[in-house]
Amino acid sequence: MADAVTAPRQPVHLADYRAPAFAVDQVELEFDLHPQATQVRARLHMHRRSAGQLHLDGRKLKLLEIRLDGEELGDNSYHVDEAGLTIYEVPDRFTLETLVEICPAENTELSGLYMSGSGFFTQCEPEGFRKITFFPDRPDVMARYRVRMTADAQKYPVLLSNGNKLAEGTENARNWAEWEDPHPKPSYLFALVAADLVAVRDEFVTMSGRRVELGIWVERGDETRCGHAMESLKTAMRWDEDTFGLEYDLDVFNIAAVADFNAGAMENKGLNIFNTAYVLASPETATDTDFQNVERVIAHEYFHNWTGDRVTCRDWFQLSLKEGLTVFRDQEFMADQFSAAVKRIADVRLLRATQFRDDAGPLAHPVRPASYLEINNFYTTTIYEKGAEVVRMYRTLMGREAFRRGMDNYIRDNDNSAATVEDFFAAMQAAVPEHNIWQILRWYDQAGTPEITFEETYNPTNRSFMLTLRQHTNPTPGQESKLPFLMPVTVGLLDENGNEMLEETLVFHQAEQNFVFSHIDKPPVASLFRNFSAPVKLKGQSRERLAFLAAKDTDLFNRWDALQQYASAALLEAVAAHQAGRIFQLDAGLQDAIAATLRQAPRDQAFTAEALILPSESLLADDMAVVDPDAIHAVREAARATLGAALRDRFNSMYWECAKVNPADHSGPAMAARALKNAALAYLCAAGDVPRAWEQFNQGANMTDTLAALTQLADKPGEKREAALAAFYDEWKDTPLVLDKWFSVQARANAPDTLARVRALTQHEAFDLRNPNRVRALIGAFSTNQAKFHDASGDGYRLLADMVLRLDETNPQVAARLIAALGPWRRFAPARQALMRTELERILARGKLSPNTYEMASKALA
């Protein structure tokens, strides 16, 4: 390995947690906003909680003034370095005043105070506040904030911060405004916006009858695309009252949309800041998936008001305490809006595609990591989605009512404070004193996906059925051996006709455990882990059994899953045959199962659309001892073409049946019909009916249908592809969120020239490394294109590493995230392994690397 590795900063360990030595009671901030030189005056009213020096975090701050209780501090009474400010002696109670200068215009990291489009925006989670002023920038320091800001009245007419507006005015062509947030909060929830935005306004009356003013702030011209976000917000506010008894606690709730944003959105108290991608939606510009994502993310951030803001995290190791819980809440919300089974399927698909992949490789980490170099690297599907699975297991084990009591305990006992995973556990345990559930805590500290095997014994003499379950979890970095997990196993027993004999939730907590069911009159077929009752891999189901469950299971999730598992087994068998040089032949059972799925389409269109999607190439890869991306790709494509041809008539009639739906209708049934129509389109195109896609593209009925058609056309080199891409570009070149789709469609394409096109697109005039959405649309999307990213030449890996290195200079958070795609390198044959490793080493060899990228690349190689 090359030697010029940057010296990393020291890792932070959970075991080293110490309560803060000083508390901040009140914060007064004054911003004099100018792009090149913004001055921030901070008055911190503080008191001592334990012995020790006063250390405040601070990064890239130019200190102009410093006063302790009004007295200017001499040079030898404090010290400033790259990490912050230390004051050698302070009294037990004091006011510290600092004045610093920062440069928002040059902040390309998009954390702290930065500029985007028409104005100033902040992003403080997790450690951005220290780039604004000197402060104990840790979530267990909660304070009340009062903010005054001044900015050019013409350029930045709208001035927003957390809480309620106290006053505003204009002086010397500059506007000023004062905001006060009555709720104590950690610094990561601070927010400020100063921009030329317009508001879409509405109001919400809470369950106790309080009127809340709602505002969604966007660039002029985008007002027409905010209706869905506003409706979603009101629906989410009502849902949290109805479901958890949680009411909004301020008189104002604002959302500001920004085009340059590192993540999806941010739950700042009373002033959420959103990536425009999760606010703006109209049928012409947004797909049905976009509409659902807007609703989900609006709900997610709103739900954080209680699970995140009122009850926050003691330290960043507890991140999943707010994120896992809030994802669980948004999943439940979405399940209540549409179909619960289909929502569950989509969530499990995501978990398996990313979390299971990470959990099986060098980047595996527990839901509560023990250490980190850069906390920004831990906003992962493990913290979010696996964390949500752990919350769901609590509920499945406890039952809905007890879980609700546990939630009430949690909020009541931790309100206005910074909590831990143990606090959440204690609140839940107190709701079920008769059961000891302590072992569930192992899910927070042990990484890895448990693998489950089972055995069944039927005894006709005493009419009993015994189920034996075994669990095993492979080692993960730093964790050689694992203790058994506690998990709920929801089991259904079916008779030979698929009639349900019983359903029960078992508590499985040992390495091996027997469960006996009595009064079972005939040998049953067990449907295990119904509704995905635990985040595990269930092994050893025969094809015969899977075919039966795919056809008969009364649990919709498991019916889908059985078909997926069946398809995986059949396709992997075909992959082996392909590797042995045999010609592709479609498994007859798979064709039968897909045909059967099509027959039941009229009963549940949303479910059918999901069930028709074959396991993705990367999911198939996860089940191969040595991944062969070319063979997987060839086989999966051949299967789609064969199915499309064999079932052409049915796909055709389904297509036309579903095409009757109104293109502007965004109700659940309309979206389901479109999903099914476009699933049919994909099969028909796989079987050669490309003109169908061309026709659909030219109808331009709405973005869902246009994009589905363009996706098909992008796979087939030729005139139509070029014409469609050019037309789409022409129409949407000035609409950034739609232009992102133009990049993504090409990055995900199945075409022979995808790699070359993606390389060329990095030079396109509309490609912009400064805009995270654009980077994700091209590079992020490309890295999920299994067959093309893993091109045998290694050019895909090289392209990714080139982008990581360039991006690391301006935006390390976004750069580091791209590296996860190289994590699974050990799973490939030696040639690809070497190519992937070479790129990771090339990244590490860069002399000056951010801690973000350093941590990801070095861990991926370890």
Q: What positions carry a catalytic annotation?
A: 301
Residue 508 parent element (H or E): strand 500-508
| Per-residue H/E/C for 771-827 | CHHHHHHHHHHHHCCHHHHCCCCCHHHHHHHHHHHHHHCCCHHHHHHHHHHHHHHHH
Is 301 one of the binding residues for ligand TRP (CB under 6 A)?
A: yes
374 lies in the binding site for ligand TRP (CB under 6 A): no
Instruction: Give the nearest distance from C-beta 297 to ligand TRP in angstroms.
Output: 8
* Residue 316: CB minimum distance to ligand TRP, A: 11
611 CB-contact burial (10 Å; exposed 0-12 / middle 13-18 / buried 19+): buried
**262 binding ligand TRP? (CB under 6 A):** yes
Q: How far is the CB of 384 from ligand TRP (least distance, A)?
A: 7
Q: Which does 677 bind (CB under 5 to 8 A by kind): ligand TRP, Zn ion, none?
A: none
Binds ligand TRP by CB under 6 A, chosen from 137, 267, 315, 705: 267
Answer yes or no whether residue 162 interacts with ligand TRP by CB under 6 A: no
Contacted by 125, from ligand TRP, Zn ion, none: CB < 5 to 8 Å by type: ligand TRP
Both tokens of 40, joined, read 């921030």
Radius of gyration for the alpha carbons in the chain, expressed in angstroms and rounded: 28
- Residue in 278, 291, 372, 379 binding ligand TRP, rule: CB under 6 A: 379
Distance CA 682, CA 333 (A): 30
List the interface residues with Zn ion, window 421-480 (CB under 5 A): none
The answer to whether the beta carbons of residues 212 and 268 sit under 8 Å apart is no
Can you name the residues that pair with 417 across neighbouring β-strands?
311
- 3-state DSSP: the chain helix, strand, coil percent, rounded to 5? 45, 20, 30
Q: Are 539 and 569 in contact (CB under 8 A)?
A: no
- Cβ closest to ligand TRP, residue 380 vs residue 712: 380
Name the binder of 379 from ligand TRP, Zn ion, none, CB < 5-8 A by kind.
Answer: ligand TRP
| DSSP 8-state code for residue 479 | B
CB closer to Zn ion, 303 vs 697: 303
Query: Which entry of Zn ion, ligand TRP, none binds 655, CB below 5 to 8 A by partner kind?
Result: none
Q: Coil, strand or helix: which one is 460? A: coil
Kindly indicate which of the ranges 248-256, 261-269, 352-360, 769-777 contains the residues binding ligand TRP, using the contact rule CB under 6 A.
Answer: 261-269
Tally Cβ neighbours within 10 Å of residue 542: 10
Q: Which stretch binds ligand TRP (CB under 6 A): 300-308, 532-540, 816-824, 851-859?
A: 300-308
Q: Does residue 307 contact residue 414 with C-beta atoms inside 8 Å?
A: no
Among ligand TRP, Zn ion, none, partner that 123 touches (CB below 5 to 8 angstroms by kind): ligand TRP
Q: C-beta of 59: minimal distance to ligand TRP in Å? A: 15
Tokens describing residue 257: 């949309």
Residues 811-830 that bind ligand TRP (CB under 6 A): 813
What CA–CA distance (Å, rounded) separates 255 from 160?
Answer: 10
| Count of residues in contact with Zn ion, rule CB under 5 A | 2
Which string of b and e fits 273-310 if b means at least 16 CB within 10 Å?
bbbbbbbbbbbbbbbbebbbbbbbbbbbbbbbbbbbbb
Nearest distance from C-beta of residue 320 to ligand TRP, angstroms? 11
Interface residue with ligand TRP among 107, 118, 123, 331 (CB under 6 A) is 123
Q: Binding partner of residue 706 among ligand TRP, Zn ion, none, CB under 5 to 8 Å per kind?
A: none
Closest approach, Cβ 92 to ligand TRP, in A, equals 34
Q: Backbone phi, then psi, for 441, in 5-degree steps?
A: -60, -20
| Residue 691 beta carbon to Zn ion: minimum distance, rounded to whole angstroms | 44
Answer yes or no: are the C-beta atoms of 133 and 112 closer than 8 Å: no
Is residue 125 part of the contact set for ligand TRP (CB under 6 A)? yes
Segment near ligand TRP (CB under 6 A); pick from 94-102, 136-144, 297-305, 413-421 = 297-305
Choose the stretch contacting ligand TRP; rule: CB under 6 A; options: 189-197, 257-265, 531-539, 610-618.
257-265
Q: Which of positions 676-715 make contact with ligand TRP (CB under 6 A)?
A: none
Q: Does 290 sit near ligand TRP (CB under 6 A)?
A: no
Q: How big is the site for ligand TRP, counted in residues (CB under 6 A)?
A: 14
Distance CA 522, CA 519 (A): 9
Q: Which stretch binds ligand TRP (CB under 6 A): 28-36, 54-62, 264-272, 463-471?
A: 264-272
User: What does the block give as tokens for 135?
Assistant: 């402060």
Q: How far is the CB of 8 from ligand TRP (least distance, A)?
A: 20
Nearer to Zn ion, 361 or 772 (CB): 772
> Would you tell me how many other CB atoms lie within 10 Å of the CB of residue 706?
25
Q: Tell me which H or E stretch contains 464.
A: strand 464-472
| CB closer to Zn ion, 347 vs 705 | 347
Q: Are 373 and 854 in contact (CB under 8 A)?
A: yes
Cβ contacts of residue 384 below 8 Å, gap of 6+? Answer: 320, 323, 324, 327
Instruction: List, in sequence order, every residue forming a beta bridge with 266; answer none if it has no partner.
Output: 273
Least spacing, CB of residue 375 vs ligand TRP, in Å: 8
Nearer to ligand TRP, 367 or 745 (CB): 367
Q: Which stretch binds ligand TRP (CB under 6 A): 16-24, 52-60, 258-266, 331-339?
A: 258-266
CB–CB of 344/531 below 8 Å?
Answer: yes
Q: How far is the CB of 315 from ligand TRP (least distance, A)?
A: 15
The secondary structure element, H or E, covering residue 300 is helix 288-303
Q: By CB under 6 A, is residue 376 in contact with ligand TRP?
A: yes
Binding flag, residue 446, ligand TRP (CB under 6 A)? no
**3-class DSSP state for residue 10?**
coil
Q: Which does 262 bind (CB under 5 to 8 A by kind): Zn ion, ligand TRP, none?
A: ligand TRP
* Residues ≥6 apart with Cβ < 8 Å to 147: 28, 29, 30, 31, 161, 162, 178, 179, 180, 192
Partner that binds at residue 284, options ligand TRP, Zn ion, none, CB closer than 5 to 8 Å by kind = none
Residues 462-521 that bind ligand TRP (CB under 6 A): none
Minimal distance in Å, beta carbon 180 to ligand TRP? 23
State the minimum distance, in angstroms, from the CB of residue 682 to ligand TRP.
31
266 binds, among ligand TRP, Zn ion, none (CB under 5 to 8 A by kind): ligand TRP
Among 132, 214, 263, 437, binds ligand TRP (CB under 6 A): 263
Site string for Zn ion, 311-340 (x = CB under 5 A): ------------x--x--------------
Render 346-391 in DSSP notation, one character per residue.
Answer: HHHHHIIIIIIHHHTSTT---SS-SEES-GGGG-SHIIIIIHHHHH
End-to-end Cα spacing for the chain: 12
Locate 850 and state its tokens.
Answer: 């951010």
By beta carbon distance, the residue nearest ligand TRP is 263
Task: List residues binding Zn ion (CB under 5 A).
Answer: 323, 326
Task: List residues binding ligand TRP (CB under 6 A).
Answer: 123, 125, 262-263, 265-267, 300-301, 304, 323, 376, 379, 813
